[in-house]
Structure 1
Amino acid sequence: MNAVTPILPDLLVRQPCDALTTWHHYRSQILEHVATSEFAVTETLSLMSVAALDGSAIKIKPTLHARFEQLFGLLGPEGPRAKKGKAILVPLKAVQDRIELRNLLCHGQTMLYTHSKGSWIARIRMMTVSKGHAILKDELLTEEAVAEALQDLKLQSKMLVARLGQFQKNLTSTPSVTPSAPVAQGSR
């Protein structure tokens, strides 16, 4: 009966439901930024197919990871649009690196472990199938790691979408005719 129980204001102690709300907020924001990037990448590939340099259409890959790789190949150092696409490569690669996290968040089973102060760790288990065998993937993500991943993804996704938007404008605009020699002055 002589136990000392500290009395703390509710503002200092986060409840487990707050942790769950935060987790769902982070998760939905990560998925939203990947989806926005995915849309921009697919839209760019579609426009590139229509405006192909040599008249051949680009067959767009069916999987998310493959579409990112396909665009990277077209805009990368060896690609046909390397000169115009080099500013896109860094954010494209950064978002592409987060696709595995997106897969975990979409297809994984999550268990949230909370601390009495409200911080949490998410354990995500996902089964993948490779060559006919099931493989268990088990990941632990801290609240800080998820928040950091979200901030990085948000920045890179916005940069990617903006740069792809400019690239798309350049694809669809008609090039203006530039004379090869300056116009000569008229004689008087």
Structure 2
Amino acid sequence: MEAFLVSVLAVTVGEIGDKTQLLALLLAARYKKPGPIVLGILVATLANHTLAGLLGQLVATHVDGTVMRYLLGLSFLAIAAWTLKPDEMDDGGINESRYGVFMLTCVTFFIAEIGDKTQLATVALAAKYSDLTMVIAGTTLGMLIADVPAVFLGKIAAPNFPFKYVRWCAAAVFAVLGVLVLLGMELKF
């Protein structure tokens, strides 16, 4: 259960103000079809985070435990620093294809998530926790918690949302995780 809860928390706060959340706002404002957009986010996130989780477990099985602890702790600290940098995205080049809004969302979300801080957090979480299913379920739920409201709010709330403060909170969460891992401490729920 710890793997699930930490994964939900880490990705939810890490996703606020992220480029994929901005992509959700953009797609919702442009196409006004929340159903296919939410489903596309779900499918893309499951695919992307499953691959990231498998990579994390592969790394965990081939790297010494002490080295892994330092790599994970430093990774969380790096994600904390990265979280402080605001993402920007313009709407150029996003066109509804012949496959519709669902496929457009799947492809753009999958690509946008490659190398993103939430994907890297998924790799790190899967390396830390042996329960891959709970990590993927948690990171996917975290993405949905952050992105689904963006889909339904569209452009209305985006200009007024305090992304700066949420980024600072997200950075703090990742920094605390990093320090706890470096100190060899376990977070218990």
More strand by share: 1
Answer yes or no: same fold by TM over 0.5: no
**What TM-score results when the alignment is normalised by the length of structure 1?**
0.28
**What TM-score results when the alignment is normalised by the length of structure 2?**
0.28
Q: Compare relative contact order (CA 8 Å, sep 6+) and give the higher one, 1 or 2.
A: 2
More helix by share: 2
Query: Which structure has the larger Rg over C-alpha atoms?
Result: 1
